[in-house]
């Protein structure tokens, strides 16, 4: 969450550490819910000190919400709260700027017998008078209006529709010098947007929006099996639409035909809604940023999903041991063969179920609920196997369940010196690992504990390994030992608190002047509750606001990390701060930070209005760490331009808000410097163009990608689409050495490599015709012994010289019968990894090189028998037993296996693996790098069991040496380019390109690296590959800036 939201002009008069959120789970020992008197009151005034008398204040807790209205003096009051804990506050007002966006709502922590006053100062709001007409000037009634600001891209609650005169008035808008984006959606006309400024609360802004009748676009939608998507619904929305409301979509006829109405000359996103049973449906994207009026009619579309006529059902029965779960269960499933998921809710009274429709295949089925014990997973004799469930199934799947209760943790909190219980405290539960079921997210917030015995009990989101952090007034935060909620269900954690040490500091600017109202947080109090965010600043609890630049914490110990935020400066994190009694005041200096500006272009090279960009740290790719790692958000104006200030000096990933569906440049990387402005454009006018021809036919409406060596990840990514004649253009392709991919038609998100492309610093590039042959390829697996298992899975991936990793590069065709061959569709010539798993304890990789003439020829896959056994143990430097993940692969690279710790059998750290005989290499951790250093070698013999003991304390230092190189232009924009390594042994140096860095690894020694890229001055610099100790990071980093040839010396 953005800490800057804490600057919402609030004054908290009396909240201490006792004001921390609470889920109330510690109170569940009481059979009845008591009403606790917790006065919460305050005053709402405007910036002139006048009362706000029309405001509605709502507080939302974990289980309830209440609303109050300000009186003539602007006062509000809540006097009875169901349960102590954390509450969010929302404010609605017609004449003033409220807070209705959930993520921006201030939080208040309410406890028994703790009076809290929270006052708010609201800005006066502006009004917008909107008139909606058709092209003949006639008013349109019933047009729904939507609103968002280009400043932060948050949606603003409007809830307005035009009246009979085509008029609606939008109130409560914050006066800004930047634009608001107004979206207009009706049933009888096109969907349109307009930009407007609301700058003065004393003036009503006016806006007129013209809606068009548009055209009717006809087409046909087929599924991945070539059959019509009958009965589904197709939705067309302008690609600029970023509001949380969507039309139902038009129905698709039995033959797959459809008609989209009121379509105008603008880019659209197409998606299809697929029924999944009951009221549940799923959405699949069909096309992004496509100007439908320019595409040849009727549209011929394909969706990556089997047709309704090819679907089947899973039949099953549920047997409960004891009383059923009152809330029912959720049944999930996944087929590695078809890559389809199952999600179905089953009522507790249901004993027989029918799940679907779903594609046929072999699925892994799991009943999901933290309170369940799935008896089938204990591998009890005569219970059905849930790991390989064939759909459709002749006999019902028998699932046996038992309710074991909600996973929870409990403990007692005492004073470390007196051993007496601490009666009032705050605690937060951190999840270290999931043991069973889905990886549900544990709440980041703190809870309130209040007990004469100092005890607490709280539910957790699912079975796992947890720790509990506790803090109380006058005490430092302490962390419990780890607890296993399955094996230690009744364990009471003992947590002793020590008196904290006061830490004082001052926040100043670069001139040494104190900074008022900066927010200072300590990581021990503000970190997240999941592994990905355990070392990140996530919550705002215990945040201190500076007064005259000063701040203080009274409850810290040992070593701490601090973060300081202020809206006018770049945030700063300071780690390794020693907390020492009577230490002098610490000074923290903030800079104005870096500024990034530029223009965003669409896939046609035109400036894009209202496009939102996210500025992230290197880890901000998803989950909780995406929000925690966000530096800021910017939205383009009516000229497609954006500007964002106060960014840290670091490597920043910039991406569109809808990067997985947008066109043009969707992701980029820039290295910023403090107090410097950087220009970063998304796209531009220079063209990279060509024509795609397959099987002697121009390829129409094929999505293309320009990116890195991996089609999914990487620092820069850009999309384009072929036209009617197969021509394509990437407008504003960044300079560098890139990879050109085509999307596999009918296989969502999978790509096949077309070529490697060098984009110069200046000018356009014409690639000409790119002719390929596309055909179906057949694979003939042959087992040394036994029959081909039903769960056997084959994948065809683009071969990566550096990594054991990649996306599918062809469309897998599920077998219709057991005797049918395995096949891939949409295959073109290239170098691939043929991957095979579902063989038991091991999988296979086979490198294959396919020419145009060889695609039709069947490929044999010889699968050896697993006639050898391997039992592994691992020890640390002190001889202690370790449970760490390792990888095993045959020395010819074909056989792969994971050495994963045993989570069931505590006596045997690793399960015994059944493997083909041969020579193997063991590497530490999951094996992604083909040149990963070995930590052990083992030879397996048929019919024998081999014992392998790995002592990490006796491992030799790795012979691998590395250097990381970052290449950018003058603005700091990252450039991937080929690096030539000169010097002795250079032929053994591997250059791995993946933004934001390139990694060089090889024998230690002195080298020279040379870079030549058209449009830039060549560069040659010395390089020394230094030693790299096993499992330790390397500090041998080089940053090179390329100068464009047209730049003058001194620029």
Residue with the two structure tokens 């044999």: 860
User: Nearest 5 degrees, angle CA 684-CA 688-CA 690?
Assistant: 145
- Min mean pLDDT across 152-156, 363-367, 714-718 is at 152-156
What is the model's pLDDT at position 75? 95
Q: Flag whether the pTM goes above 0.75.
A: yes
Kindly state whether residue 1022 falls inside one of the protein's structural domains: yes
Mean pLDDT of 603-614: 90
Can you tell me whether residue 686 is helix, strand or coil?
A: coil
Written as six digits, the tokens of 152 are 């932060």
E strands, 686-784, where?
687-694, 697-698, 703-707, 717-721, 727-731, 736-743, 751-759, 765-772, 775-783
Kindly state whether residue 894 falls inside one of the protein's structural domains: no
Task: Give the CA-trace dihedral at 13, 16, 19, 20, to 10 degrees.
Answer: 140
> Are residues 908 and 869 in contact, defined by beta-carbon separation less than 8 angstroms?
no
Beta pairing class for 447-450 and 519-522: unpaired
What is the model's pLDDT at position 177? 81
DSSP class of residue 973 equals B
**104 phi, psi to nearest 5 deg:** -95, -5
Residue 703's CB: how many other CB atoms inside 10 A?
Answer: 20
> Are residues 514 and 508 in contact, defined by beta-carbon separation less than 8 angstroms?
yes
Burial 360-371 (b: 16+ CB within 10 A, else e): bbbbbbbbbbbb
* CA gap 600, 610 in Å, rounded: 10
Kindly state whether residue 625 falls inside one of the protein's structural domains: no
Residue where a domain stops, chosen among 308, 334, 351: 308
Residue 961's pLDDT band, with cuts at 50, 70 and 90, is: confident
pLDDT of residue 8 exceeding 80? no
Q: Are residues 451 and 532 in the same domain?
A: no
Give one DSSP letter per residue of 29-98, joined into a string. TSSSPPPEEEEEEEEEEETTS-B--S-EEEEE-SS-EEEEE--TTSEEEEEEESS-EEEEEEEE-SSB--
Residue 222's CB: how many other CB atoms inside 10 A?
Answer: 17
Q: Which residue has the higher pLDDT, 569 or 531?
A: 569
pLDDT of residue 292 exceeding 70? yes
DSSP class of residue 308 equals G
Q: Are residues 219 and 304 in the same domain?
A: yes
Q: Are residues 118 and 130 in the same domain?
A: no
Residue where a domain stops, chosen among 270, 287, 308: 308
* CA gap 359, 225 in Å, rounded: 11
pLDDT of residue 623 exceeding 70? no
Express each pLDDT in 394-426 by its tens digit: 899 999 999 888 899 999 999 999 999 999 899
Task: Give the CA-trace dihedral at 93, 94, 95, 101, to 10 degrees.
Answer: 50
> Are residues 72 and 64 in contact, defined by beta-carbon separation less than 8 angstroms?
no
pLDDT of residue 1033 exceeding 50? no
Q: Are residues 195 and 241 in the same domain?
A: no
pLDDT of residue 13 exceeding 50? no
Average pLDDT, the chain: 86
Express each pLDDT in 887-907 by its tens digit: 999 999 899 999 988 765 667
Q: Are residues 95 and 143 in the same domain?
A: no
**954 phi, psi to nearest 5 deg:** -110, 5
What is the model's pLDDT at position 982? 83
User: Nearest 5 degrees, angle CA 675-CA 679-CA 682?
Assistant: 140
Q: Which residue has the higher pLDDT, 510 or 925?
A: 510
Q: Are residues 846 and 795 in the same domain?
A: yes
> Are residues 841 and 1031 in contact, defined by beta-carbon separation less than 8 angstroms?
no
Residue 445's pLDDT band, with cuts at 50, 70 and 90, is: confident
> Are residues 113 and 7 in contact, defined by beta-carbon separation less than 8 angstroms?
no
pLDDT of residue 28 exceeding 50? no
344-347, long-range: CB < 8 A, 24+ apart: 344/276, 344/277, 344/280, 345/278, 346/318
**Number of structural domains the chain divides into:** 8
DSSP class of residue 525 equals H
Kindly state whether residue 824 falls inside one of the protein's structural domains: yes
Q: Are residues 413 and 483 in the same domain?
A: yes
Kindly state whether residue 681 falls inside one of the protein's structural domains: no
What is the model's pLDDT at position 1047? 53
Q: What's the domain range around 118?
A: 40-122
Q: Which residue has the higher pLDDT, 22 or 502?
A: 502
Q: Are residues 107 and 192 in the same domain?
A: no
Q: Are residues 220 and 299 in the same domain?
A: yes
User: What proportion of the chain, given as a percentage, has pLDDT over 90?
Assistant: 52
Q: Is 323 exposed, middle or buried (0-12, 13-18, 19+ CB in 10 A)?
A: exposed
Express each pLDDT in 753-767 by its tens digit: 999 999 998 888 999
**432 phi, psi to nearest 5 deg:** -95, -35
> Are residues 83 and 36 in contact, defined by beta-carbon separation less than 8 angstroms?
yes
Kindly state whether residue 659 falls inside one of the protein's structural domains: no
Residue 854's CB: how many other CB atoms inside 10 A?
Answer: 13
Q: Are residues 782 and 820 in the same domain?
A: yes
The alpha carbons of the chain give a radius of gyration, in whole angstroms, of: 31
E strands, 264-311, where?
267-275, 281-291, 299-303
> Are residues 537 and 587 in contact, defined by beta-carbon separation less than 8 angstroms?
no
Written as six digits, the tokens of 202 are 């004393």
- Min mean pLDDT across 221-235, 569-583, 617-631, 805-819 is at 617-631
- Give the CATH number for residue 298: 2.60.40.1120
pLDDT of residue 21 exceeding 50? no
Mean pLDDT of 20-32: 34
Cβ neighbors of 901 (< 8 A, separation 6 or more) are 883, 884, 885, 909, 910
Cβ neighbors of 816 (< 8 A, separation 6 or more) are none
DSSP class of residue 203 equals S
For residue 524, what is the enclosing H or E element? helix 523-526
DSSP β-bridge partners for residue 276 = none
Q: Are residues 250 and 186 in the same domain?
A: no
What is the model's pLDDT at position 24? 32
Kindly state whether residue 627 falls inside one of the protein's structural domains: no
- Give the CATH number for residue 779: 2.60.40
Kindly state whether residue 746 falls inside one of the protein's structural domains: no
User: What proportion of the chain, given as a percentage, has pLDDT over 70?
Assistant: 91
DSSP class of residue 377 equals G
pLDDT of residue 6 exceeding 60? no
Express each pLDDT in 986-1030 by its tens digit: 766 667 666 667 788 778 888 888 898 888 999 999 888 875 443
E strands, 322-474, where?
329-335, 340-346, 352-358, 361-368, 372-374, 389-391, 397-403, 408-415, 424-434, 447-450, 455-459, 464-471
What is the model's pLDDT at position 1001? 78
Q: Are residues 223 and 304 in the same domain?
A: yes
Residue where a domain stops, chosen among 368, 403, 438: 403
What is the model's pLDDT at position 444? 87
What is the model's pLDDT at position 64? 74
């Amino acid at each position: 969450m953005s800490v800057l939201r804490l600057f919402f002009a609030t004054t908290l008069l009396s909240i201490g550490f006792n004001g921390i959120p609470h889920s109330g789970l510690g109170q569940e020992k009481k059979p009845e819910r008591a009403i606790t008197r917790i006065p919460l009151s305050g005053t709402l005034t405007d910036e002139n000190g006048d009362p706000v008398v029309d405001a509605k204040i709502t507080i939302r807790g974990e289980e309830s919400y209440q609303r109050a209205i300000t009186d003539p003096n602007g006062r509000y009051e809540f006097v009875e709260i169901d349960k102590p804990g954390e509450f969010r506050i929302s404010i609605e007002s017609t004449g003033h700027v409220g807070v209705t966006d959930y993520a921006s709502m201030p939080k208040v922590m309410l406890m028994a017998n703790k009076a809290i006053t929270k006052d708010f100062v609201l800005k006066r709001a502006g009004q917008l008078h909107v008139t909606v007409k058709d092209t003949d000037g006639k008013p349109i009634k019933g047009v729904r209006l939507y609103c968002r600001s280009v400043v932060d891209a948050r949606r603003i609650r409007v809830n307005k529709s035009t009246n009979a005169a085509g008029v609606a008035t939008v109130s409560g808008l914050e006066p800004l010098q930047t634009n608001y984006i107004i979206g207009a959606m009706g049933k009888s006309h096109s969907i349109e947007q307009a930009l407007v400024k609301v700058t003065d609360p004393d003036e009503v802004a006016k806006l007129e929006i013209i809606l068009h009748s548009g055209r009717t676009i006809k087409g046909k939608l087929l599924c991945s099996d070539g059959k019509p998507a009958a009965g589904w619904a197709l939705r067309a929305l302008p690609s600029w639409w970023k509001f949380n409301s969507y039309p139902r979509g038009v129905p698709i006829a039995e033959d797959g035909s459809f008609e989209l109405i009121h379509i105008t000359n603008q880019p659209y996103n197409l998606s299809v809604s697929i029924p999944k049973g009951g009221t549940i449906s799923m959405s699949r994207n069909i096309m992004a940023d496509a100007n439908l009026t320019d595409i040849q009619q009727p549209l011929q579309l394909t969706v990556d999903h089997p047709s309704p006529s090819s679907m089947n059902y899973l039949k099953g029965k549920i047997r409960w041991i004891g009383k059923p779960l009152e809330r029912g269960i959720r049944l999930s499933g996944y087929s590695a063969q078809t890559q389809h998921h199952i999600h179905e809710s089953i009522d507790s009274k249901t004993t027989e179920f029918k799940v679907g429709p779903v594609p046929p295949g072999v699925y892994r089925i799991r009943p999901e609920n933290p309170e369940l014990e799935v008896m089938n997973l204990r591998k009890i004799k005569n219970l059905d196997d849930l790991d390989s469930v064939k759909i459709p199934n002749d006999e019902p799947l028998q699932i046996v369940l038992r309710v074991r209760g909600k996973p929870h943790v409990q403990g007692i909190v005492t004073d470390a010196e007196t051993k007496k219980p601490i009666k009032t405290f705050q605690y937060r539960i951190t999840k270290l690992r999931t043991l069973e079921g889905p990886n549900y997210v544990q709440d980041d917030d703190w809870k309130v504990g209040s007990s004469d015995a100092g005890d607490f009990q709280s539910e957790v989101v699912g079975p796992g390994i947890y720790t509990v952090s506790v803090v109380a007034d006058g005490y430092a935060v302490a962390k419990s030992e780890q607890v296993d909620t399955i094996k230690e269900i009744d364990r009471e954690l003992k947590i002793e608190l020590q008196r904290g040490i006061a830490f004082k500091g001052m926040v100043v600017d670069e001139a040494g002047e104190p900074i008022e109202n900066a927010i200072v947080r300590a990581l021990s109090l503000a970190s997240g509750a999941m592994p990905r965010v355990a070392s990140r600043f996530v919550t705002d609890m215990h945040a201190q606001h500076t007064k005259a630049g000063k701040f203080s914490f009274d409850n810290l110990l040992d070593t701490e990390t601090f973060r300081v935020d202020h809206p006018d400066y770049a945030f700063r994190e300071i780690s390794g701060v020693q907390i020492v009694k009577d230490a002098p005041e610490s000074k923290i200096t903030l800079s104005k930070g870096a500024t990034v500006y530029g223009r965003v272009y669409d896939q046609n090279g035109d400036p894009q209005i209202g496009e939102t960009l996210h500025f992230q740290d290197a880890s901000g790719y998803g989950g909780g760490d995406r929000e925690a790692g966000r530096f800021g958000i910017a939205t383009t104006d009516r000229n497609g331009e954006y500007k964002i200030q106060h960014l840290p000096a670091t490597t920043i990933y910039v991406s569109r808000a809808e990067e997985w569906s947008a066109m043009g440049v969707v992701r980029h990387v820039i290295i910023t410097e403090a107090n410097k402005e950087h220009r970063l454009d998304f796209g531009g006018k220079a063209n990279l163009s060509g024509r795609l021809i397959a099987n002697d036919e121009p390829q129409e409406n094929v999505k293309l990608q320009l990116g890195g060596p991996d089609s999914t990840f990487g620092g820069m990514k850009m999309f384009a689409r072929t036209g009617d004649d197969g021509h394509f253009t990437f407008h504003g392709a960044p300079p560098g050495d890139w990879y050109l991919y085509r999307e596999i038609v009918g296989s969502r998100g999978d790509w096949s490599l077309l070529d490697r492309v060098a984009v110069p610093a200046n000018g356009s590039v014409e690639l000409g015709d790119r002719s390929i042959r596309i055909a179906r390829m057949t694979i003939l697996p042959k087992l040394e012994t036994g029959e081909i298992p039903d769960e056997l899975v084959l994948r065809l991936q683009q071969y990566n010289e550096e990594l054991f990793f990649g996306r599918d590069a062809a469309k897998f065709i599920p077998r219709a019968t057991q005797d049918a061959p395995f096949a891939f569709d949409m295959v073109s010539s290239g170098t691939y990894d043929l991957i095979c798993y579902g063989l038991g304890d091991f999988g296979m990789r086979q490198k294959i090189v396919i020419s145009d003439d060889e695609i039709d020829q069947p490929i044999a896959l010889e699968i050896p028998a697993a006639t050898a056994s391997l039992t592994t143990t691992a020890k640390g430097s002190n001889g202690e037993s370790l449970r760490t993940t390792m990888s095993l692969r045959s020395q010819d690279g074909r056989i792969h296996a994971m050495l994963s710790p045993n989570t069931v059998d505590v006596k045997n750290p690793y399960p015994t693996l059944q493997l083909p005989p041969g020579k193997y290499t063991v590497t530490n951790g999951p094996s992604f790098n083909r040149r990963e250093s070995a930590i052990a070698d083992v030879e397996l013999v048929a019919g024998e069991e081999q014992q392998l003991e790995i002592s990490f304390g006796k491992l030799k230092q790795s012979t691998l040496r590395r250097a990381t190189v970052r290449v950018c232009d003058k603005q700091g924009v990252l450039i991937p380019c080929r690096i030539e390594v000169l010097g002795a042994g250079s032929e053994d140096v591997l250059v791995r390109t993946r933004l934001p860095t390139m990694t060089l690894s090889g024998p230690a020694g002195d080298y020279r690296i040379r870079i030549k890229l058209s449009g830039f001055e060549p560069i040659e610099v010395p390089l020394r590959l230094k030693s790299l100790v096993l499992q330790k990071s390397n500090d041998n980093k080089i940053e090179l800036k390329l100068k464009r040839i047209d730049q003058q010396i001194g620029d």
